[in-house]
Amino acid sequence: MLGIARDISERKKAQEKFKILFETSRDSIMTLEPPSWKFTSANRSTLDLFDANNENEFTSKCFWDVSPNIQSDGSPSSKKAKIMINKAMNEGSNFFEWTHRTLNGIKFPATVLLTRVDIEEGKPFLQATIRDISEQKKAEEKIKKQNIKMKKLDKIKSDFLNITSHELRTPMSAIKGYIQMIIDKTLGDINDDQINALNVVLRNSNRLDNLIQDILDLSRLESGTLKFIAESSDIKQLVKDSIETMQSFALSKNMNIEAHIEDNIPKMKIDQERIKQVFINLLNNAIKFSPDGSTIDIRVKKQKKDVLFEIQDFGRGIPKKKQNKIFDTFYQVEGGMDRKFGGAGLGLSISRGIVLAHGGEIYLDSFEGKGSTFSFTLPKKPVKDMEGRFKEVDIFKLENNNETKKRYKEKNTYRKGV
Ligand code: ADP
């Protein structure tokens, strides 16, 4: 007898505890029962959420009585609510978004979790947990509007750069052509001082032309209008041609470029001129930022799904904390100081765009004072829609790419010095 009494008292205590939990929960919790699916109990938060004065006022209602007649997808609330209830009853639980309405007629977006509760005696019923997500929806709406605005601004910027740089290039060709003709004395004799002066004009015109070309490339990449012509390409030849283009610059600094290309590299369907542009840009940087007399190593290796290209220098390197910005547009490690080398911080952004458009990836491993290795991969299986790929890439995600960090940790390949 004593045992039974203790059991009853323990059960009572447990019931009390659950009642307190139910009542004090900040979530709006209620129960609803078949066959009418009217609410049979509701905690304080529920009454507050639906502006009900007391439990009786609320428990006389059905789920669809505290909803507008029509849901946001156009379906009648009563019909849709019954579908949701059935689903929870058959599958154990059902989580969904719903538009509710308070007893004062104010609509609000919510999430609903319906959970089937089975008890020993009596029929199973449902427990509902409802959360008002008005604030979350407002924030989402704000972000959506901001995104649309940013996309519009981005398009204006791209169009502006595209049109202006195109318009600037046309007169540049005429300017350069005529200067060259004067230097070549095609239009009559000129003296050495005049030739020297015109050579300075020509050099600066070329620099301006390169900058305009870079801006044009970048804006076209961003707007998905840069055309790629993919054709079967001999990689060895491509690397050789790129080295040849940079050879005189390397020799002017008494530098040696060594290429190690595996014999089994397959022909690849790529835009040769664009990939050459990447190579030349990486080589140009490697030469620019390395001391006279040092070496540059190029390695090309076949991997399982792609071909890996590495350009390693033993120059000044890039400080660790600046490495994640290195592919940003107009970014230069030493700011204005680096501009005196003749660049504007666009080469790496363009290179990244070209590699990504080909379905590859580009990485940096660098140690300050020791040198840098820029590597990129190109997939053996060519990708479709090169033009649209860069536009779709989430640059923020890319910059936080763990893969890049992993490679950085794995590799420490500074075997050779100057
Ligand atoms: P730039 O035309 O200025 O070279 P890039 O986008 O090609 O533009 O490079 C951006 C910056 O990254 C450079 O200005 C330089 O500060 C740094 N950088 C690039 N490559 C190297 C390298 N191999 N060694 C050291 N710094 C480099």
The proportion of the chain whose per-residue pLDDT surpasses 90, expressed as a percent, equals: 63
Mean pLDDT of 116-143: 92
- Whose tokens are 């001129």? That residue is 273
Is 180 in the same domain as 255?
A: no
pLDDT band at 195 (very low <50, low <70, confident <90, very high): very high
pLDDT band at 136 (very low <50, low <70, confident <90, very high): very high
Is the CB of residue 375 below 6 angstroms from any atom belonging to ligand 1?
A: no
pLDDT band at 412 (very low <50, low <70, confident <90, very high): very low
Atom of ligand 1 nearest to the CA of 333: 16
Classify strands 295-302 and 306-313 as parallel, antiparallel or unpaired: antiparallel
- Whose tokens are 């660049």? That residue is 343
User: For residue 407, what pLDDT is reported?
Assistant: 45
Residue 179 CA to ligand 1 center (angstroms) comes to 30
- Ligand 1 pocket test, pick from 298, 334, 348 with the greatest ligand atom count within 8 Å of Cβ, gives 348
Write the pLDDT tens digit of every residue in 322-335.
Answer: 998 899 888 888 87
3-state helix, strand, coil split of the chain in percent (to 5) is: 50, 20, 30
In DSSP terms, 100 is beta-bridged to 108
User: For residue 3, what pLDDT is reported?
Assistant: 64
pLDDT band at 391 (very low <50, low <70, confident <90, very high): low
Is 100 in the same domain as 201?
A: no
- Ligand 1 pocket test, pick from 333, 368, 376, 414 with the greatest ligand atom count within 8 Å of Cβ, gives 333
Q: Specify the pTM.
A: 0.66
Residue 377 has pLDDT above 80, yes or no: yes
Q: Nearest-5° angle of CA 158, CA 164, CA 169?
A: 120
The proportion of the chain whose per-residue pLDDT surpasses 70, expressed as a percent, equals: 90
Is 206 in the same domain as 296?
A: no
CATH code of 179's domain: 1.10.287.130
Residue 396 has pLDDT above 60, yes or no: no
Give the residue whose CA is nearest to atom 13 of ligand 1: 332
The mean-pLDDT minimum among 196-205, 259-268, 383-392 falls in 383-392
Residue 397 CA to ligand 1 center (angstroms) comes to 22
In a domain, 50, yes or no: yes
pLDDT band at 117 (very low <50, low <70, confident <90, very high): very high
Residue 1 has pLDDT above 70, yes or no: no
Residue 337 CA to ligand 1 center (angstroms) comes to 11
CB atoms within 10 A of CB 44: 15
Atom of ligand 1 nearest to the CA of 313: 23
Is the CB of residue 344 below 6 angstroms from any atom belonging to ligand 1?
A: yes
Is 253 in the same domain as 196?
A: no
User: For residue 415, what pLDDT is reported?
Assistant: 34
Total of domains in the chain? 3
Give the residue whose CA is nearest to atom 8 of ligand 1: 345
Is 405 in the same domain as 256?
A: yes
Is 287 in the same domain as 200?
A: no
pLDDT band at 411 (very low <50, low <70, confident <90, very high): very low
Write the Ramachandran bin of 340: left for phi over 0, alpha for psi from -120 to 50, otherwise beta: alpha
Domain hosting 146: range is 139-223
The amino acid occupying position 266 is P
Mean pLDDT of 119-142: 92
CATH code of 71's domain: 3.30.450.20
Is 397 in the same domain as 338?
A: yes
Is the CB of residue 359 below 6 angstroms from any atom belonging to ligand 1?
A: no
In DSSP terms, 109 is beta-bridged to 99
Residue 322 CA to ligand 1 center (angstroms) comes to 11
Classify strands 295-302 and 256-261 as parallel, antiparallel or unpaired: parallel
Residue 120 has pLDDT above 90, yes or no: no
Is 241 in the same domain as 263?
A: yes
- Ligand 1 pocket test, pick from 212, 285, 352 with the greatest ligand atom count within 8 Å of Cβ, gives 285
The amino acid occupying position 362 is I
The mean-pLDDT minimum among 113-117, 177-181, 388-392 falls in 388-392
Write the pLDDT tens digit of every residue in 59-86.
Answer: 989 999 999 999 988 999 999 999 999 9
Is 180 in the same domain as 286?
A: no
User: For residue 164, what pLDDT is reported?
Assistant: 80
Is the CB of residue 343 below 6 angstroms from any atom belonging to ligand 1?
A: yes
Is the CB of residue 332 below 6 angstroms from any atom belonging to ligand 1?
A: yes
The amino acid occupying position 402 is N
Pick from 223, 245, 277: which residue ends a domain? 223
Residue 214 CA to ligand 1 center (angstroms) comes to 14
Is the CB of residue 315 below 6 angstroms from any atom belonging to ligand 1?
A: yes
Residue 285 CA to ligand 1 center (angstroms) comes to 6
> What is the enclosing helix (H) or strand (E) of 148?
helix 134-183
User: For residue 4, what pLDDT is reported?
Assistant: 65
Residue 308 CA to ligand 1 center (angstroms) comes to 21
Residue 199 CA to ligand 1 center (angstroms) comes to 26
Pick from 103, 132, 161: which residue ends a domain? 132
User: For residue 18, what pLDDT is reported?
Assistant: 77
Which parts of 224-358 fold into alpha helices (H)? 235-252, 272-288, 336-339, 347-357
User: For residue 231, what pLDDT is reported?
Assistant: 93
Mean pLDDT of 263-279: 94
Residue 409 has pLDDT above 50, yes or no: no
Name the average pLDDT for the chain.
Answer: 87
User: For residue 336, what pLDDT is reported?
Assistant: 65
